[in-house]
Structure 1
């Protein structure tokens, strides 16, 4: 079954890792353009830093399966990432999510709005299913009011031990991710200030087991095996 690897890493101070006119800005594009054509590599990679805090770098990798990612990590993974310590600090995480098939479209939009919700690690399936149903209800009720949206996607993390930002290292959680792709930044900002967005956050926070919420936007770049 296909799966998306999700990684969050910290950028070293004063480095502009998205500017390819600088030496440090070429490391990520070279790495990700290499892995998508390497044997057993991901089908697609999208990466970018948070607009609100550019010290956080996010990357999404689409794999044929969890096993495909594990096999690649064992064979070519270490060689592929050898230059990352030049631009990234220790910490961060690499996990997996199972999101709806529209996730790549949200990451290829002009600007992407991300809502990352942390939940208790021991949620029963009834609660995770109810959260998805609640999101679908919100989509049916509110999405027509949102202008400029090109795609939306959502899904739960595969692992149950995601680190929680700004919390102690031993605090771990499940995550529910909802992602919205917009055709321009004005539409994205309007959404952030809308009643529809407020309603979405309220529904997420009212879900059983809710722990914390992170809301941020990213200008992603993408490359794929067939680009």
Structure 2
């Protein structure tokens, strides 16, 4: 079984200081991370707030396999765990999984990358040739972008919602020294010459940045 990365995103209740371990929300969040990290098949996790919308928290978890996460969700532990977490969540939670290459994606997410560009690209169906295009874009970043750290990417296992319909999605992660470094690269000829690789044959894309902490 291939390793898988859980991709969870949810809005945090207003005023919930999850970074403060002494606060009520911080204790709930630390308990959440502790419970996840104690599960069979857990490898590591990364979490952080979105830069563009700090009310949104992302949690990525590397598992030995998708089945390991499924077994956790089917266990007696999961119900109380989820109920406790939801006390600091203020809105719908989305959870999907991706088989990322390379695995683990630690060079693009976590301590090695101060900020991560999280790019979701939507398709009518899986495009077998897109992985090669993604790798070309990552190479262009490596060759030409100041502040580039590393890239990782993979197809989302589940169908995802996009413009009211279930679609296929590819998740790309690029680690940067800063958001400004990414924005500077977007003004270069190298970016303009390669962005078509991420748009041709796609339905659309969404991008944001997250400052992840690795555990």
Q: What TM-score do you get using the length of structure 1 for normalisation?
A: 0.81
Q: Aligned in 2, Cα 1:74/1:52: closer, same or farther, shift over 3 Å?
A: same
Give secondary structure in 1 for the equivalent of 2:54. Answer: coil
Whether the 8 Å contact between 1:18 and 1:48 is mirrored in structure 2 is no
Q: Is 1:211 matched up with 2:208?
A: no
1:114 is matched with 118
Confirm or deny: 8 A CA contact 2:142 2:150 kept in the other structure: no
1:190 partner SS: helix
Q: Distance in 1 between matches of 2:141 and 2:177?
A: 18
Match of 1:163 in 2: 161
In structure 1, what is the Cα distance between the partners aligned to 2:70 and 2:118?
26
CA distance in 1, matches of 2:189, 2:31: 41
Deviations 1:52-104 (A, max 9, x none): 01232211111111111111111122232332222113423211101112512
CA contact (8 A) 1:8 1:56 kept: yes
Q: Which residue of 1 aligns with 2:106?
A: 104
Q: TM-score with structure 2 length normalisation?
A: 0.85
> 1:35 is matched with which residue?
36
Residue 183 of structure 1 pairs with residue 199 of structure 2: no
Q: Is the Cα–Cα contact under 8 Å of residues 147 and 178 in structure 2 kept in the other structure?
A: yes
Runs of at least 5 residues in structure 2 that lack an aligned partner in the other structure: none
Deviations along 1:10-61, whole A, 9 cap, x unmatched? 223343434445322342233113321x241521111112110123221111
Contact 1:102 1:151 in 2 (8 A): no
2: CA distance, partners of 1:193 / 1:26: 42
Aligned match of 1:154: 153
Matches within 5 A, 1:3-42: 3-20=4-21, 22-36=23-37, 38-40=38-40, 42=42
Between the two proteins, the alignment pairs up a number of residues equal to 210
Alignment match, 1:83: 84
Alpha-carbon separation, structure 1, partners of 2:20 and 2:199: 36
CA distance in 2, matches of 1:2, 1:104: 14
Taking structure 1 as reference, are residues 97 and 191 closer, same or farther at Cα in structure 2, changes over 3 Å only?
A: same
